[in-house]
Structure 1
Amino acid sequence: MTRRTDSHPDLSDARVGAPFFSTWRVGTPLRQRQAVEAVAVAWERRPWPADDLLGYHLYTGHDASTLLHYSQWASEQAYEAFVRTRHQERVDEIDTAVPGIERLGPGRYRHYRSRGPAHRGEPGGRVPGCVVIVDIEFEGPDPDRQRAWVDAVLEALENEPAPHPGGIAAHFHLSTDGTRVLNYAEWDSAQSHIEALAAPGDGIGSATAFWQRVQTWPGLKSTTVSRYDHALGLVPGR
C-alpha cells in the first residue's frame, strides 16, 4: 500500500544508504501541478514497490518550470531491482498524463554530514517552508576534495557571526562519481533565504575568512542555487 504524507523527509535517517536526486523540466506551473498529481496517481494505485524504499518526495521549483525528486533507498541494489521490474509502468502512465517531460538524472549520492535538528519529530522542531538546493560542481572527481569542502562549509557556519534565524538545517550529500556536492537546505520561508542572500557577503555567509576559503576552493567549478516547495510525499502504508 502507498500513502501520501505532508511530512518532510528526514534527510539524516541512517537507514538511507542510497539517496537519489533528479530534476524534471515540465515548463509551466500548470504542468508542474499536473505532473505531481500524475505521479501521485501512478504510485497510489500500485503497491509500495519495495521494503527498501523508505520514501519518495516531490518538490515544485520556484522557477515555475521544474520538479525535484528525492527518493530514499536503503541500497542502490534495491533501486536497480525496482528499475528493472516496476519503474517503466509508472513512467509510461505519467508520460501519458503529461507528455513531453524532460528528465535530468537521477543523480546518485551518499549523505555525508548534516547541521541542524537531528530528527523531524523532536520537540520544538520547525517545519521547513522552503527547501533550497545548492548544487556544487568540481573540476573532476576527487572524493577527498568533496569531504574537505563540506567540512570547510560547516566550519564557516559554526563561525558565522550573523546567522540568519530563518535557516533550519543543511544536509550535505556527495555524488558517488566524486564530482559534486548537493546541499539540501531547509529554511522557514523563501523570503528568509532571499534576505540572507541580500545581506553583506557573498552568498548566505558574512565576509569572513572562513567563507572566503569556501568560495575560492581549488577546483570549484560552479554553484547553482534553486528554491523549492514540498509538494508530495509518498511512503509505505501501515
Structure 2
Amino acid sequence: MTRRSDAHPDLADPRVGAPFFSTWRVGTPLRQRQAVEAVAVAWERRPWPADDLLGYHLYTGHDTSTLLHYSQWTSEQAYEAFVRTRRQERVDEIDTAVPGIERLGLGRYRHYRSGGPADRGGRVPGCVVIVDVEFEGPDPDRQRAWVDAVFEALENEPAPHPGGIAAHFHLSTDGTRVLNYAEWASAQAHLEALAAPGDGIGSATALWERVQTWPGLKSSTVSRYDHALGLVPG
C-alpha cells in the first residue's frame, strides 16, 4: 500500500542509486494545492508500485507557480520499468483532476556529497532551497571538482549562517549540471544569508570567489520550496 508521510526524505540514504528531480508549472497557489492533492489521491488508491522506489516527495515553490518532484529509486532500470507499466495511469488521473500542467523535464542525478553541522539538533527543515548549476558541456571531473571546492569554502567559512542545516549535492548523469538540495531552518534564514556581505550565501573570501568564477560555469539558479507531500510504502 501507499501512505502519506510528513517526514522529509533522507537525501544521503545509500540505497538511493538513482535520484530523480523534475518540475511542473501549474500557475497559481490554488493549482499547486490541487495538484499535490491529485498526486496524493492517484498514488494512495493504488499499491506501492515497486520495492525499488524508496520514496516520492513533492514541494510547492515559493514562486506560487511550480511544484518540485523528488523520487528515490534504487536504479534507473527500476524507474524505467515503472514508466512502462505503472506511470501513465497515474498521469492520466492527475491530468484529469488538474488540466494544463506543464511538465518542464526530468533530471537524472547521482548523489555525490552531503554536509552540514555535525549536530543538527533534531532540526526539521522549514525551507528547501534548490541551487541548479549548469556548466558549458559535459565534464564529470569538473562537476566533482566544483562540488569539492564548495565544500572547501564551506569548511573555511568565517561566518556560517546558523539557519543552514544541510546541503546535498547531486551530479547530473549527463555531466553538465550540479543540483544542491539545501535544507534551511526557514526561508527567512536563507534570505538573511543571501543579504549578508559576499556574493551568495558565502562570505567575500578567495575560496568563494574561486567557486563563483569556476572555468566553464555557465549559470546558476536558486529556488525555494516547502515540503508538501511525502509518499512512502505502507
Q: Deviations over 1:195-230 (max 9, x none)?
A: 000000000000000000000000000000000000
Which residue of structure 2 lines up, in the alignment, with residue 64 of structure 1? 64
| TM-score in terms of structure 1 length | 0.97
1:199 and 1:118 map into 2 onto residues whose CA distance is: 23
1:212 and 1:26 map into 2 onto residues whose CA distance is: 36
The structure 1 segments of at least 4 consecutive aligned residues displaced by more than 2 Å after TM superposition are 116-120
> Unaligned regions of 5+ residues in structure 1, if any?
none
Q: Deviations over 1:49-81 (max 9, x none)?
A: 000000000000000000000000000000000
> Unaligned regions of 5+ residues in structure 2, if any?
none
Q: Deviations over 1:77-105 (max 9, x none)?
A: 00000000000000000000000000012
2:102 and 2:124 map into 1 onto residues whose CA distance is: 30
DSSP-derived class of the 1:156 partner: helix
| TM-score in terms of structure 2 length | 0.98
Give the counterpart of 1:147 among 137, 140, 144.
Answer: 144
How many corresponding residue pairs?
234
Change (3 A) 1:171 1:118: farther
Change (3 A) 1:50 1:168: same
Which residue of structure 2 lines up, in the alignment, with residue 119 of structure 1? 119
Change (3 A) 1:230 1:196: same
1:89 and 1:198 map into 2 onto residues whose CA distance is: 45
1:223 and 1:104 map into 2 onto residues whose CA distance is: 17
CA contact (8 A) 1:12 1:118 kept: no
The Cα of 1:116 is off from its aligned counterpart by 2.3
Q: Deviations over 1:32-54 (max 9, x none)?
A: 00000000000000000000000
The Cα of 1:125 is off from its aligned counterpart by 1.9
1:63 and 1:43 map into 2 onto residues whose CA distance is: 26
The Cα of 1:119 is off from its aligned counterpart by 10
- Over aligned residue pairs, what C-alpha RMSD do you find? 1.2
Change (3 A) 1:130 1:111: same
1:39 and 1:134 map into 2 onto residues whose CA distance is: 25
Change (3 A) 1:134 1:142: same
Aligned-residue sequence identity (percent) comes to 92
